[in-house]
């Protein structure tokens, strides 16, 4: 099976958590797109849900499949959000934002009673940080914000190149919120909470891709099958996780 098959298997398992009438958050990225596609099939067969998309791309996919969309202004509290991730550790801490939708993803996730993360098992890591941390920043004062991130991160031992994310045409990637993204290659992050804290002190930083204490359930699919990890059972499940 390919990584894409595993993503679809995780998405299919997540669908089992969804009940008729639920208000859902729809994530962004290739794994979330599998979930949206499978949900679309159920909706076509008469299943009723209402959904808040985390990006314009997901909104377009859902709309094309006939999935009913709403906004957080109409429905401020959602039942479940299903989203992908770039990395996940043994405490269900995440790095997200590879697809550039981290701000809306985090707003939608924390507006939901439950965040279910779906991924192929390759996304599981012993320690976060091999994937460069996406940080969404406003364009005004970009050089200044970049220097401040470098300085404050360095104070807590996080060092590495910050790269302005570009599109294929060489122009800066602009998020759905009109901001840009600095991909921060700090390497292994022994204390992601400390990094999250310092990034929050910088006015030009809108949000960062660390999702800490937000994920309730992780569904990871790989050669050994589909594994469901629950945040509340972490102590019991730790034995089974890579150290
Ligand atoms: C988008 C995200 C995605 O969930 C993350 O990048 C994973 O993407 P994929 O499912 O394509 O591997 O955070 O901002």
Packing angle, helices 56-64 and 30-44, rounded to 10? 30
Q: Tens digits of per-residue pLDDT, 134-144?
A: 999 999 999 99
Is 228 found in the same domain as 155?
no
Q: Which two tokens stand for residue 151?
A: 């300085």
Q: Which residue segment(s) compose the domain that 192 sits in? A: 133-206
Residue 241: pLDDT over 60: no
Residue 222: what pLDDT? Answer: 98
CA-based nearest residue to 133, from 157, 165, 109: 165
Predicted confidence band of residue 233 (pLDDT cuts 50, 70, 90): low
User: What is the mean pLDDT of the segment spanning 234-243?
Assistant: 43
Strand 217-222 relative to strand 94-95, pairing = unpaired
Stretch (H or E) spanning 25: strand 23-26
Q: What is the CATH number for 84?
A: 3.40.50.1360
Residue 234: what pLDDT? Answer: 55
Predicted confidence band of residue 232 (pLDDT cuts 50, 70, 90): confident
Residue 194: what pLDDT? Answer: 98
The model's pTM is 0.94
Residue 16: what pLDDT? Answer: 98
Is 115 found in the same domain as 62?
yes
**Residue 145 near residue 138, CB atoms below 8 Å:** yes
CA 152-189-215 angle, to 5 degrees, is: 110
Ligand 1 centroid vs 93 CA: distance in angstroms? 14
Packing angle, helices 30-44 and 3-15, rounded to 10? 50
Start-to-end CA distance of the chain, whole Å, equals 25
Ligand 1 centroid vs 29 CA: distance in angstroms? 4
Strand 50-53 relative to strand 23-26, pairing = parallel
Work out how many domains the chain is built from and give that number: 2
- The rounded mean pLDDT for the chain is 95
Is 65 found in the same domain as 26?
yes
What is the distance between the alpha carbons of residues 104 and 28, in angstroms, rounded to a whole number? 10
The reply to whether ligand 1 has any atom less than 6 angstroms from the CB of 104 is no
Sign of CA dihedral 229, 233, 235, 236: negative
Residue 242: pLDDT over 90: no
The percent helix, strand, coil of the chain (3-state, each to 5) is 35, 25, 40
Is 78 found in the same domain as 172?
no
Is 115 found in the same domain as 219?
yes
Residue 120: pLDDT over 50: yes
The reply to whether ligand 1 has any atom less than 6 angstroms from the CB of 27 is yes
115 half-sphere exposure, CB direction, 13 A CA radius: 24
Q: Tens digits of per-residue pLDDT, 54-88?
A: 999 999 999 999 999 999 999 999 999 999 999 99
Is 165 found in the same domain as 67?
no
The reply to whether ligand 1 has any atom less than 6 angstroms from the CB of 97 is yes
Is 106 found in the same domain as 85?
yes
More confident position, 240 or 112: 112
What is the distance between the alpha carbons of residues 197 and 58, in angstroms, rounded to a whole number? 30
Is 103 found in the same domain as 10?
yes
Is 178 found in the same domain as 75?
no
Is 183 found in the same domain as 75?
no
* Contacting residues for 78 by C-beta, under 8 A, at least 6 apart: 23, 24, 25, 52, 72, 108, 111, 112, 113
The reply to whether ligand 1 has any atom less than 6 angstroms from the CB of 96 is yes
**Residue 83 near residue 56, CB atoms below 8 Å:** no
Q: What is the CATH number for 167?
A: 3.30.70.260
Is 160 found in the same domain as 114?
no
**Residue 125 near residue 89, CB atoms below 8 Å:** yes
User: What is the mean pLDDT of the segment spanning 171-187?
Assistant: 98
Q: Which of 48, 56, 105, 136 is catalytic?
A: 105
Is 152 found in the same domain as 119?
no
What is the distance between the alpha carbons of residues 108 and 3, in angstroms, rounded to a whole number? 26
């Amino acid at each position: 099976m390919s990584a894409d098959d595993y993503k679809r298997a995780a998405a299919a398992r997540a669908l089992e958590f969804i009940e008729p009438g639920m208000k859902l958050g729809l994530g962004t990225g290739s794994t979330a797109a599998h979930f949206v596609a499978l949900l679309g099939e159920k909706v076509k067969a008469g299943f009723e849900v209402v959904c808040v998309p985390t990006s314009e791309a997901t909104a377009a996919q859902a709309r094309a499949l006939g999935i009913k969309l709403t906004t957080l202004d109409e429905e401020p509290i959602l039942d479940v959000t299903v989203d992908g991730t770039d990395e996940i550790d043994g405490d269900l801490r995440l790095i997200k934002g590879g697809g550039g939708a981290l701000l809306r993803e985090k707003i939608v996730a924390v507006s939901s009673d439950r965040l279910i993360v779906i991924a192929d098992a390759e996304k599981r890591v012993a320690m976060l940080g091999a994937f460069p941390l996406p940080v969404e920043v406003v364009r005004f004062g970009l050089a200044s914000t970049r220097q401040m991130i470098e300085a404050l991160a360095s104070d807590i031992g996080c060092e590495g190149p910050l790269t302005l994310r570009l599109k294929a045409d060489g122009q800066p990637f602009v998020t759905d919120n009109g901001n840009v993204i600095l991909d921060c290659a700090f390497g292994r992050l022994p204390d992601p909470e400390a990094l999250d804290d310092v990034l929050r002190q910088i006015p030009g930083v809108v949000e960062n891709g660390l999702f800490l204490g937000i994920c309730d359930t992780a569904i990871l699919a790989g050669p050994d099958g589909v594994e469901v990890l629950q945040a509340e059972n972490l102590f019991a499940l730790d034995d089974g996780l890579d150290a």
